[in-house]
Amino acid sequence: MDLRGTYPPDALRWLQRDSGAKSVDDLGHIVAFRKYHPGTRPYFQNMFYNATTIMARTRKPGFCSFMFMFTCNPRWPEIKRNLLRDNQKIVDRFDIICRIYEDKLRKLHNLLEKKHIFGNILGFGESREFQKRIGGPHLHRVYCTDIPATPENVENLIWAHIPPEPPANDNSVWAHFLRKVRELLPLSQFHDCGAHCKDNRGKCKKGFPKPFSKFTILHENKPAEYRRPSPDDGGETLKIPRGKNTITYDNSRVVAYNPFILVMFECHHNLEYAYGQSDNLKYALKYPFKGTSFSYVRSSVDGRINVDEPAQYAKMIYRSPTEAFSRLMGYKYAFLSHTVIVLQIHLPDKQKLVFSRKTAATVLANVEEGILPDTHLTAYWTLWRKNINDPVIRNILFEELPETYAFDRKEKIWRKRRMAQIRKITKPIIGRILSVSPREPERFALYVLTSIFREILLS
């Protein structure tokens, strides 16, 4: 879409006779990705801030939050079974890898959100990543639950030890389950420290080998210590052949996992107790911090600034085969538990104006006459004034309004949702106010007032 944006004071300055501008083209042009374009920097930035809002609004003190990583296993029988020829390799069929992984994700989401195997999920943010250049896809999810944060509850969900081998004559379901876990651990959950994971000092970046611990200990400002009994305390060991050598693994080499997920999907995964909020969320939605998209700015001699972000994005971005196929198939890069409505704070008569080439003359003429469109904020003030004696309206913050009201884009007013509309909503709706810098004292003060204080008398 050929859209342009400006603010009323800037538009008025442009309309002055001494500006020298004879057309909207004299403003220069900016071609940028919108936040709804998957895989771009604005998309992931918007998803990150939305996920941060979801976690802040849904997370309850004293209850568990987790970080979950789920990878693709190229040894899945479904992948090998669908290769066309005997000499065809897995790297020749990235389409099969992506399709099978997407099917596994649907099953995983059903277990997490319908079966509640990790408790009732109150809110989550999830992003998909593609390993290196030819690696398979994997996802990162941060979510908060209604499970009380106790060492016993965490220990039931997260294992970081090798389970003991059941007696040979024990044919119970639990015994078969433990044998399967012991069989899969060497294939998926043991960490081998190599040159790829060591820093300049020769230490593992992931912190392996982990310290042994007899109990699960939860901390507020550092990672939890899971139960990892040492061999001296009765911890199990496994001897695994690696090439010509045989390596003995103990519990210090085990990547924290969930035994049910391990047996169900037979793939590498990592389940961690989330002791913080911001840092874990940044890791889960880390594409905004990787610098994979670029923008190029060029200023001409006459002072016009031209930006063509899609053109530079197409020239500089690299997509792996798995990412390219996933993009073609429309697989989502990120998932959120809630729909987030973005709200803006602005001073009177300083709301943002968006116009195209066809509507530029009309919009600018309205600016000259002082006719400005209503926004989420001005419509909120109008609703507040009309219902000033209503205790419900007086007690609703600006960011809480989208939970019960819908913004009519045509009439530019907030309307209370009807029951028929509520039934059609598939995800809960919350609001997020765009942050304001303290360098703008008046707008920042308005931001603080509308975000914190209730029943503000609007004059």
Is pLDDT above 70 for 436? yes
**From CA 48, how far away is CA 46, in angstroms rounded?**
5
SS3 of residue 55 by DSSP: helix
Sign of the torsion formed by the C-alpha atoms of 114, 120, 126 and 128:
negative
Do you know the residue count of the chain?
Answer: 459
List Cα–Cα distances, 142 to 94, 108, 219, 332, in angstroms.
27, 14, 18, 16
Q: What is the pLDDT of residue 70?
A: 93
Residue 139 Ramachandran class (φ > 0 left, ψ -120 to 50 alpha, else beta):
beta
Q: For position 110, what pLDDT does the model report?
A: 93
- Residue 61: HSE in the Cβ half-sphere, 13 Å Cα cutoff: 1
Mean pLDDT (whole number) for 328-348: 88
Return phi, psi of residue 286, to 5°.
Answer: -90, -5
What band does 283 get if pLDDT is binned at 50, 70 and 90? low
pLDDT reported for residue 280: 61
Q: Extract the tokens encoding 25.
A: 């083209």
More confident residue, 282 or 204: 204
User: What is the predicted pLDDT for the residue at 106?
Assistant: 93
pLDDT of residue 26: 55
Binned at pLDDT 50, 70 and 90, residue 458 comes out as very low
The reported pLDDT for the residue numbered 289 is 43
- pLDDT above 90 as % of the chain: 23
Query: Model confidence over 78-134: pLDDT tens digits?
Result: 988 888 777 788 888 888 999 999 999 999 999 999 999 998 999 998 888 887 666
What is the average per-residue pLDDT within 411-439? 82
User: How confident is the model at residue 398, as a pLDDT?
Assistant: 87
pLDDT at 320: 82
Residue range 135-154, pLDDT digits in tens: 788 888 888 899 999 999 99
Residue 261 has pLDDT above 90, yes or no: yes
Q: What is the DSSP string of 186-235?
A: HHHTBPPP-GGGB-TTS-BTT-PSPPPBSS-B--SSS--B--B--GGGT-
CA dist., res. 328 & res. 95, Å (int) = 10
- Computed over every residue of the chain, the mean pLDDT equals 81
Top pLDDT among 356 and 44 is at: 44
Bridge pairing between strands 334-336 and 121-130: antiparallel
pLDDT in tens, 197-221: 778 887 888 888 888 999 999 887 7
pLDDT tens, position by position, 397-410: 888 889 888 888 88
Share of the chain above pLDDT 70, in %: 82
Compute the CA torsion angle 245, 250, 251, 256 (nearest 10 deg): 10
The DSSP 8-state label assigned to residue 288 in this structure reads G
Residue 256 φ/ψ, nearest 5 degrees: -55, 135
Residue 60 pLDDT grade (very low, low, confident, very high; cuts 50, 70, 90): confident
Lowest mean pLDDT among 12-26, 185-199, 303-317: 12-26
Give 197 or 70, the one with higher predicted confidence.
Answer: 70
Q: What is the separation, in whole angstroms, between the first and last Cα of the chain?
A: 38
Residue 288 has pLDDT above 50, yes or no: no
